[in-house]
A = this chain, B = another copy of it.
């Protein structure tokens, strides 16, 4: 029996994407072999690869001004590749510190060049909010501005993005990419590890403005770490993680079948409303550490009156077939990750449990 999976990532995948993988495992499209056993340069895999790119372009409305790339190494390698490619000596990059991963990205940039903290919402070793526009001090001559659109650990999310003028905006969207439609053209570069909304771990989507990527190849950066290398070769410069791309294609087909990102975005809004609605109603029992305007619709975090009750909450939810609810070890508490493959019904089931748990233990 399948469980209701609130894991923070790697996370729940649409059943149809998994079923397709299962059914084709030994014989992909009548070719007598698994998609994993196909050459990445054969027409069978190439069709999958290009379909994944086309689906992303269609679903998000990615304009021709931007490349779509599939890389390896997760968000972490992007923490390094972004400054390696776009932070020349003599320049500085602006970083918005809104959570743990934003800080790690900033620290990696410091290993490579000069980086500046344009905003920092850390307080008492925690991040409970997204900075207001007025708090963000941007350097108009910065090489780029980097932010983390959704903070998985702390449960905060940007609901509007700062205007960075002519300075390219770079966003780590690992944990909310594809949660709804947004204007890709406003970004210089977007990256997202797949393992939340898009697919399994092992592939990273990068969407980058062509003029930035093509705007001069740095010779002091290893070739494999230059975006231009991958852009010029349609992400087939080296052997790509073929199965992960195949799974992503399956997930994107599912997104389209759901009605695209309008439908997905609507479902995510509804899921968030139901969950936060329950928390607000039972605010004395389910304490929200995050400021209202900064609430994440992907990772909903809350505390219970005691750690013992939090443990009990996790254990009893598990008995009712709901898993993945433990908060990140850095912050404790409860975290409900409601990525795309988690349905409104899944969330309603949890909310029903939350109501009865509060009644029994409040």
Cβ-defined contact, B18 with A26, below 8 A: yes
A134 to chain B, nearest CB (A): 33
Tell me the complex Cα distance, A256–B11, Å.
31
Decide if A19 is an interface residue (CB 8 Å cutoff). Answer: yes
> What count of chain A residues pass the 8 Å CB interface test?
66
8 Å CB interface, A31-47 against B:
31-34, 36-40
Interface residue from B201, B223, B323 paired with A240 (Cβ < 8 Å): B201
In this assembly, does A163 line the interface, its C-beta being within 8 Å of a C-beta of chain B? no
User: In whole Å, how far is A248's beta carbon from the nearest beta carbon of chain B?
Assistant: 11
In the complex, the count of this chain's copies comes to 2
Question: Is A200 a contact of B27 with CB atoms below 8 Å?
Answer: no
Q: How far is the CB of A290 from chain B (nearest CB, A)?
A: 22
Whether the pair B21, A25 counts as a contact (CB closer than 8 A) is yes
Per-residue CB proximity of A316-331 to B under 8 Å, as 1/0? 0000010110000000
Contacts of A247 in B (CB 8 A): 36, 243
Does the CB pair A39–B7 fall under 8 Å? yes
* Interface hits, A6-31 → B, CB 8 Å: 7-13, 15, 18-19, 21-22, 25-27, 31
Please determine whether A1 and B32 come into contact, CB atoms closer than 8 angstroms.
yes
A334 nearest CB across to chain B (Å): 15
A222 / chain B contacts, CB cutoff of 8 Å: 79-80, 84, 108, 111-112
The 0/1 profile, CB within 8 Å of B marked 1, for residues 236-255 of chain A is 01111111100100000000
Q: How far is the CA of A79 from the CA of B219 in the complex (A)?
A: 16
Binary contact track A300-311/B, C-beta < 8 Å → 1, others 0: 000000000000
Smallest Cβ distance from A303 to chain B, in angstroms? 21
Question: Is there a chain B Cβ closer than 8 Å to A193's Cβ?
Answer: yes
Specify which chain B residues have a CB less than 8 angstroms from the CB of A324 in the assembled complex: 39
Q: Indicate whether A287 reaches chain B with its CB closer than 8 angstroms.
A: no
- Please give me the residue from chain B that is nearest to A324 by CB atom: B39
Closest chain B residue, CB of each to CB of A329: B41
A84 to chain B, nearest CB (A): 7
A221 at the interface (CB under 8 A from B): yes
The interface bits of chain A over 67-105 (1 if a CB of B lies within 8 angstroms of the residue's CB, else 0) are 000001111110110001000000000000000000000
A22-B26, A201-B240, A243-B201 known; A2+B32 contact, CB < 8 A = yes
Considering the chains assembled together, what is the distance between the CA atoms of A169 and B278 in angstroms? 61
Q: Please judge, given known A-B contacts A223-B108, A224-B73, whether A32 and B18 are in contact too, CB under 8 Å.
A: no
Distance (whole angstroms) from the CB of A266 to the closest CB of chain B: 24
* 27 pairs, A vs B, C-beta closer than 8 Å: A10-B38, A10-B39, A12-B37, A15-B26, A18-B25, A18-B34, A36-B247, A72-B73, A72-B74, A72-B241, A73-B73, A73-B77, A73-B224, A77-B225, A77-B238, A80-B223, A80-B224, A80-B225, A111-B220, A195-B239, A200-B243, A202-B240, A202-B241, A202-B242, A241-B241, A241-B244, A243-B244
